[in-house]
């Protein structure tokens, strides 16, 4: 029965010429608008999946004995953007809670970069995500989801996040397609600048 349903689900297939999958991760606390942002730019209705892993499969150093074997489950959603004949960008909305970062390498190694989506009413939710991204050396930008309207200036946000001046910080409206698109372009522009600078040095 359910195979009939899944066959009939309106899945939009990729072009047969697609060869290159890319990843960008949107990190943020619950209710900050990650899924909304993904939905605004995705060509498919956002899909949800999860990764489950016992500690043995985590690939991290653990100082405790094997006796405390634990299972970690992280749910995340994603959307898709066909960039051209060959390239397809997957946009992941991922929770920033602690257990998620155990799976970061496993799931998001090779990600182009990350967007930290911030709700200024709960700015402290973002500290941990920014700390972890810096730890992993993943380039990122910060986007303030500007709903229901800003309470603070962006420079106050930069200060509250103790964000380095070279990390782009912008306002966005996750519900708006052009605004969500601008968030992605700002990130990739940032990556382009970083990559160009490295090529000049080396």
Site residues (CB under 8 A) for other proteins? 3, 6-7, 9, 11, 13-16, 18-23, 41, 47-54, 56-57, 71, 73, 78, 80-84, 87-90, 92, 107-112, 136-139, 181, 184-185, 188-189, 191-192, 194-196, 198-199
Q: How far is the CB of 23 from other proteins (least distance, A)?
A: 5
**C-alpha–C-alpha distance, residues 180 and 112, integer Å:** 17
Three-state secondary structure call for residue 69? coil
Q: How far is the CB of 49 from other proteins (least distance, A)?
A: 4
Q: How far is the CB of 191 from other proteins (least distance, A)?
A: 5
The number of CA neighbours under 13 Å toward the Cβ of 16 is: 0
Q: Which is nearer to other proteins, 22 or 154 (CB)?
A: 22
Q: Which is nearer to other proteins, 162 or 202 (CB)?
A: 202
Residues with Cβ within 8 Å of residue 2, at least 6 apart in sequence: none
**C-alpha–C-alpha distance, residues 100 and 187, integer Å:** 22
Q: Which is nearer to other proteins, 22 or 160 (CB)?
A: 22
Q: How far is the CB of 156 from other proteins (least distance, A)?
A: 29
Q: Which is nearer to other proteins, 92 or 100 (CB)?
A: 92
Q: Which of 134, 172, 37 is nearest to 94 (CA)?
A: 37
Q: How far is the CB of 135 from other proteins (least distance, A)?
A: 10
Q: How far is the CB of 93 from other proteins (least distance, A)?
A: 12
Q: Which is nearer to other proteins, 141 or 184 (CB)?
A: 184
Q: Is 44 left (phi over 0), alpha (psi -120 to 50) or beta?
A: beta
Q: Which is nearer to other proteins, 16 or 162 (CB)?
A: 16
**C-alpha–C-alpha distance, residues 154 and 15, integer Å:** 40
């Amino acid at each position: 029965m359910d195979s009939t349903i899944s066959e009939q689900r309106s899945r939009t297939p990729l072009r047969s010429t697609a060869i290159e999958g890319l990843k960008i991760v949107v990190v943020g606390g619950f209710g900050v608008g990650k899924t909304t942002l993904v939905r605004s730019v995705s060509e498919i209705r956002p899909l949800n999946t999860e990764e489950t892993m016992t500690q043995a499969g985590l690939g991290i150093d653990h100082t405790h004995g094997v006796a405390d074997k634990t299972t970690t489950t992280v749910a995340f959603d994603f959307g898709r953007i066909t960039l051209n004949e060959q390239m397809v960008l997957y946009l992941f909305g991922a929770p920033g809670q602690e257990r998620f970062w155990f799976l970061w390498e496993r799931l998001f190694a090779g990600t182009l970069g990350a967007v930290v989506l911030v709700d200024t009413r709960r700015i402290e939710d973002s500290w941990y995500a920014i700390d972890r991204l810096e730890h992993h050396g993943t380039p990122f930008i910060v986007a303030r989801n500007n709903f229901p309207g800003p309470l603070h200036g962006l420079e106050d946000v930069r200060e509250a996040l103790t964000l380095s001046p070279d990390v782009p910080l912008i306002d966005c409206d996750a519900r708006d397609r052009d605004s969500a698109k601008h968030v992605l372009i700002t990130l990739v522009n940032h990556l382009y600048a970083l990559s160009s600078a490295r090529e000049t040095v080396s």
